[in-house]
Amino acid sequence: MPFSLPEHIDPRHCIVTKQYAVYTPPMHEMIGQIGEWIDQQCPGGYIYGASRLGKSRCVQWYVANELQERFKAVVPLVVWNRRPDSQTSEAGFWHQLLLASRFEFAHPTKPPKKVEGIHLCKQRLIAIANNAQLNYVVLLIDEAQDLTFREWKWLVALALHPDKTRLPEFGRYAAANRQSRGLGRPETFTFLGFIFICGKSRRGAFQLQRKTRGDRMREKLRQVKEVLRRRMHDPIPVQGKWLRQVVRGYFAYHAVPTNSRALGAFRHHVVNLWRRTLKRRSQKDAMTWERITRIANTWLPRPRILHPWPDQRFAVKHPR
């Protein structure tokens, strides 16, 4: 059965190439070998050998301290003391990994649902990497030879795209720090459908700005266009009521401070799609911009900010 890796997974992964195998060396050499794998950013490696030679003891007791002394920093290390012959369902697999990562909210005996378990594992590993200010996590699995093919496939697919684990230089002093080093503007990052930007207010003070992601807006407009084509011959009031719900729902999520321009752009494109759809109903249709503007002002809400600033919302929920 061929093993197909996701595109963002390094094809050098040891599960496929089998090139990072090391027979059981002395304990200090074993720790050194693991350190070299971390230095070289190898996608994986495995150590095998006869039993009772110190592999498990090395993994369980010495690796974390030795690696921290070697790198002079906290290594984002997760040690999974996997029980032999502990083959289980996918939900149970993620539950065991959560327990190995010492996730404090994981139930000791009751595993979460599969989708929830995958999400929790990703968030937990990202949190461990962020705490160490790195973009990777070192996972050491004891008794890994008992992992089944499907368990390896689940584990390899868990690896995230590098863009999702990078640590951008962001915040109140990011612009000044980068300018002092001769670098450009601070990096941006996307989260929950928004682009987060280090901006400035009209007074020149630091301001966290949020802007709707362009790809998300284009996808929503594509869906609106498809539905309008199906509703082409519906009466204008019927189309207007449906579009009002669409625009109102879009504003309910995206109407955050500093995002007014994106709200206006979305409404403008919706009106344009509506105009083009109405013009297709007849070759003699004279749907001008003046007429569609009057219709849109009757049915579609105007863009306005609906959500408070983040500090105001935080002050309400957590008053001092």
pLDDT at 103: 80
Structure tokens that stand for 45 in this block: 């490696």
- On the question of pLDDT at 2 being above 60, the answer is no
pLDDT at 1: 47
Min mean pLDDT across 78-87, 156-165, 268-277 is at: 156-165
Residues in the chain: 320
Tally of CB atoms within 10 A around 211: 19
* Spatial separation of the C-alpha atoms in residues 71 and 113, rounded to whole Å: 37
The whole-number average pLDDT for the span 293-302 is: 91
**Residue 301 contacts residue 247 (beta carbons within 8 Å):** yes
pLDDT at 194: 86
* Spatial separation of the C-alpha atoms in residues 248 and 253, rounded to whole Å: 9
C-alpha distances out from residue 154 to 85, 119, 120, 204, 256, Å? 17, 13, 14, 49, 37
For the chain, what percent of residues have pLDDT higher than 90?
14
Min mean pLDDT across 13-27, 77-91, 130-144 is at: 13-27
Return the ∠ at Cα 176 (arms to 170 and 182), rounded to 5°.
100
> Residue ranges of the alpha helices (H) in the chain?
14-17, 27-39, 55-57, 63-71, 90-100, 114-131, 149-157, 162-165, 174-180, 214-230, 236-254, 260-279, 289-299, 310-317
- On the question of pLDDT at 166 being above 80, the answer is no
Q: Report which of residues 268 and 319 the model is more confident about.
A: 268
Torsion angle of C-alpha atoms 114, 115, 117, 121, degrees rounded to 10: 140
- On the question of pLDDT at 305 being above 80, the answer is yes
Q: Report which of residues 103 and 262 the model is more confident about.
A: 262
Instruction: Give how far the C-alpha of residue 164 lies from the chain's centroid of Cα atoms, to the nearest Å.
Output: 5
Residue (of 7, 138, 33, 155) closest to 77 by Cα position: 138
The whole-number average pLDDT for the span 42-60 is: 61
Q: Report which of residues 268 and 164 the model is more confident about.
A: 268
- On the question of pLDDT at 171 being above 70, the answer is yes
* Burial environment of residue 26 by CB neighbours within 10 A (0 to 12, 13 to 18, 19 or more): exposed
pLDDT at 263: 92
Return the ∠ at Cα 75 (arms to 77 and 28), rounded to 5°.
85
Min mean pLDDT across 101-105, 138-142, 156-160, 217-221 is at: 156-160
Phi–psi pair at 196, nearest 5 degrees: -95, 130
Q: Report which of residues 29 and 98 the model is more confident about.
A: 98
pTM, full prediction: 0.51
pLDDT at 5: 57
Q: Report which of residues 311 and 107 the model is more confident about.
A: 107
* Spatial separation of the C-alpha atoms in residues 114 and 96, rounded to whole Å: 12
**Residue 184 contacts residue 178 (beta carbons within 8 Å):** yes
Tally of CB atoms within 10 A around 198: 21
